[in-house]
Structure 1
């Protein structure tokens, strides 16, 4: 959910023990490596001083224009501000797999971009009797792990940390205009070539698209995360891009506008990357920021990846 983008408006009765065993086996198959290209990067330096969760949160918020946001989803989802941090994990979603890897790495602070408990506000009253929720919450409490959602703040950061991370990873940072969110390619590329670069640089197995794969494109409107409501359509009306490169959509909004635009004779195309993978570079951006500010801290970025499979 990316309501701080310029375009956004904000199974079976398995027993608890059996559930624990099933999850543990799945998680146990995931090994945490200190340095894995394109997936997990851990940085550790000689310790210089101790930091609490609250101090690190405040440090980032202080650099965001306007400072503290009164109404925000960027709150602690577990743990407390007073926890002394032993290591930091950045990720899109604080999944059970990510939490288990944090435990293995002896990291007790997870900075996630999206919700931890399956709804935008991370409300948990409705989940109180659910075994999936209680398993996750109990695991966090047992290991005294703090989770801070950094969504509104990293999008309000100047430049937007998520879009900057995506443009950098795509290798188009010099062609990216932070005000318009337009990437102006130095030379036209076919839609097929753009899709290939996006898949390669962002490590995406498949995308969905609308458009002529052979058509040359030069102007890309970048909108990772959720692309919903009138905002993205108004942005396309204003910027006249060749391609909208986005995370996820309401299919009955943006896709239909693009389809009609093409039927009318326009050259507008659409690439849908998927929500999680489209914003993962924002969590890598956050990890890079932390490494500059906390040179004595072990900081690891762990991609939460797309939970969906394709046939």
Structure 2
């Protein structure tokens, strides 16, 4: 039996029983869903560089976690005039590559999805004290914020992030750490869940950081991409097991920024 891109979508719908499939962003973004799959590329985001890399590896189905055309539902037409979007659309048309978004189904998938993979990657494997739809609070050995930040920083360097940021008192002793997925790591929610420190990814600095300071709740700030890369690596592994006859390639996205400090004149 020939595997098509539509078969992958059908499988995700079967396992994603918690997804509102009438409203989800998990849809095809480019190409023909009936295309026979020659190879699957899995990546956090369908950037033009990642799409080209997937094509070079012989993959004609690209599974992305994040948008292809710069808006959550990929329907914000104001981006269409940008050169990068035009180049991407031309590339997809010329190659016939199929792009499928796997976001809502994989965020909450137990064990290997985005949230649980991030927890495992950070070594936060204890029984949760509290859980939300996209977040949880995990007990840790009591330690200073700065020591926890050093450990988180050590782990995320493997994914290209040179350093983490902290907000608040680095010497505060903490024992209940909150984590979440992507753009919705809300310090207020973490606080309500009983955490005394939060690992956040997307925050509004003037609001969230200052609120956390006033509440004396320290934060450790990690890049959004980095926090979800472990889950996408696990998605590639999951697809290899589910479809053993199909080539599955992982295309890393990694942290988009570099850290620059004061130049040493000595």
Which residue, out of 144, 150, 153, partners 2:96? 144
Larger CA deviation: 204-213 vs 150-159: 150-159
Deviations 1:269-307 (A, max 9, x none): 101102111211221221122122111222122221222
Matched, 1:197 2:146: no
Q: Distance in 2 between matches of 1:75 and 1:278?
A: 23
> Taking structure 1 as the reference length, what is the TM-score of the superposition?
0.75
- The equivalent of 2:200 in structure 1 is 246
RMSD of aligned Cα (Å)? 2.2
Shift of 1:217: 2.0
The alignment covers a number of residue pairs equal to 254
Shift of 1:88: 1.3
Shift of 1:94: 0.9
Shift of 1:127: 3.6
Any stretches of 5+ residues in structure 1 without a counterpart? 1-48, 263-267
SS at match of 1:90: strand
- The equivalent of 1:227 in structure 2 is 184
Q: Distance in 2 between matches of 1:199 and 1:224?
A: 18
Alpha carbons of 1:67 and 1:127: their partners in 2 closer, same or farther (altered >3 Å)?
closer
Residues 25, 101 of structure 2: 8 Å contact kept: yes
Residues 187, 200 of structure 2: 8 Å contact kept: no
SS at match of 2:151: helix
- The equivalent of 1:184 in structure 2 is 139
Q: Distance in 2 between matches of 1:234 and 1:125?
A: 33
Deviations 1:231-252 (A, max 9, x none): 6413412x22121111111123
> Taking structure 2 as the reference length, what is the TM-score of the superposition?
0.87
Alpha carbons of 1:124 and 1:253: their partners in 2 closer, same or farther (altered >3 Å)?
closer
Deviations 1:200-227 (A, max 9, x none): 2233212221133333321100123113
Which residue, out of 119, 136, 144, partners 1:167? 119
Any stretches of 5+ residues in structure 2 without a counterpart? 261-266
Shift of 1:176: 4.5
Which residue, out of 236, 246, 249, partners 1:300? 249
Shift of 1:177: 5.9
Alpha carbons of 1:130 and 1:213: their partners in 2 closer, same or farther (altered >3 Å)?
closer
Larger CA deviation: 205-214 vs 55-64: 205-214
Q: Distance in 2 between matches of 1:226 and 1:160?
A: 19
Q: Whose relative contact order is higher, 1 or 2, with alpha carbons under 8 Å and at least 6 apart?
A: 1
